[in-house]
Structure 1
Amino acid sequence: MRMIKPPLKHVHILVFTLLSLVFSHTLFAASQFPNTYSYQASEGSPQAKIGDISWLQGYWQGEIWGGQAEEIWSAPLAGSMMASFKFAADEQVNFYEIITLFEQNNSLVLRLKHFSADLKGWEEKDQYMEFKLVKLEKNIAYFDGYTYQLVSPDELHVFVVIDDDGKKQETKFAFKRNKSR
């Protein structure tokens, strides 16, 4: 019996297809952006405790959109952390955020609520934005469209996929630790 070899081109296509299937599963549903992942319900969230990201605590400041941003994270307490975020430009506060990070179902969930400068909520009264944990590495926490990366003890990068009227883009916030507080 004679073996028939497929053309080399077909072998490459088959290998590429198989590798794509394997890596698409192991890449934790990478989004269309380089620094964020998308949550897949079929994959679920990895096990994690709040202490796994205690490196996030501190007072962080940076510049973006022609203004200044600050994010202040509390130390872990009772399975959770909280933060406040403020963005100001031209000596005027544009908006605030209240952020909670807590343990749920043996993993972590990030919740966020926006407020105007006069503290009027952007989301409805009982609504908030929620981001489930997708992947956790040393000094990097990937939530659904939201990534925190401790670049050094004094530098934090936050990548957020922002939806502006249907146009999504990944935005980078580069923060430095403010040690004066």
Structure 2
Amino acid sequence: MSTRLSIILVIVCILFGTTIKAQKTKQLGEGDAPAPALLSEITWLEGHWRGEAFGGIAEEIWSPPLGDSMFFSFRLIDDEGVQFYELGHIIQQENSLLLQLKHFSKDLKGWETKDETVDFKLVDKDKNAFYFEGFTIERIDKNHINMYVLIDEGDLREETVFSYKKYRP
């Protein structure tokens, strides 16, 4: 995770108190290979999701798998409008999955450099969750998911949860 994103998430978590103490995220040990998985195993993530986070609305839209990837867009909206965006994908990489994303300010200026992405290797999976390094996607049921993001900055090591419901306009 970029230093800039870590700092912003720490500040937001302190201001809005949306951290949780339960440990739902995992990390690869040094030298451990990513867990084996197929993109077809996470197709339940496809769809339009909305929830509350950081005092506003968090929205994610996930495409169906195509071309060895599932594309997504994210935006956080509060009373002042869009706060930031993310674009990314989960890709099939050899026999595992990799979650990659880039952040953009509300005026679409990138946070990461042109060639930089924030990468999360797959650590583990079970029938209802995919555990990427510091980022867990958990299926509650067909209409609800949780995403847990680990904030690890200095002495602060806490998770933030995004609870989503399938959105049907």
* Residue 42 (structure 1) aligns with: 31
* Backbone CA RMSD of aligned residues: 1.6
Partner of 2:122: 133
Which residue of structure 1 aligns with residue 51 of structure 2?
A: 62
Q: Could you tell me which runs of 5 or more consecutive residues in structure 1 were left unpaired when the two chains were aligned.
A: 1-31
Q: Which amino acid aligns with 2:127?
A: K
Q: 2:150 maps to what in 1?
A: 161
What's the CA shift string for 1:149-173, capped at 9, x where partnerless?
Answer: 0101000100001245763321000
Structure 2: tracts of 5 or more residues without a match: 1-20
1:179, distance to aligned residue in structure 2 (A): 2.2
Deviations 1:13-33 (A, max 9, x none): xxxxxxxxxxxxxxxxxxx96
Q: Secondary structure at the match of 2:90?
A: strand
Which position in structure 2 is the counterpart of 1:116?
105
Give the direction of change, closer, same or farther, for the CA distance of 1:39–1:33 in structure 2 (3 Å limit): farther
1:102 aligns with 2:91: yes
Does the CA contact (< 8 Å) of 1:50 and 1:103 recur in 2? yes
Aligned residue for 2:61?
72
Q: Deviations over 1:8-53 (max 9, x none)?
A: xxxxxxxxxxxxxxxxxxxxxxxx9610001224221121111010
Measure the CA separation in 2 of the matches of 1:75 and 1:50: 10
Taking structure 2 as the reference length, what is the TM-score of the superposition?
Answer: 0.83
1:170 equivalent among 154, 159, 166: 159
Matched residues in 1 for 2:56 and 2:144: separation?
A: 18
Aligned AA (1:86) = R
The one-letter code matched in structure 1 to 2:158 is: Q
> How many pairs align?
149
Q: 1:101 to 1:136 in 2, by over 3 A?
A: same
Q: Is the 8 A contact 1:55 1:139 kept in 2?
A: no
- Which residue of the partner structure matches residue 82 of structure 2? 93
Calculate percent identity across the aligned residue pairs.
Answer: 43
Q: What is the identity, as a one-letter code, of the residue corresponding to 1:53?
A: I
Q: Who wins on radius of gyration, i.e. which is larger? A: 1
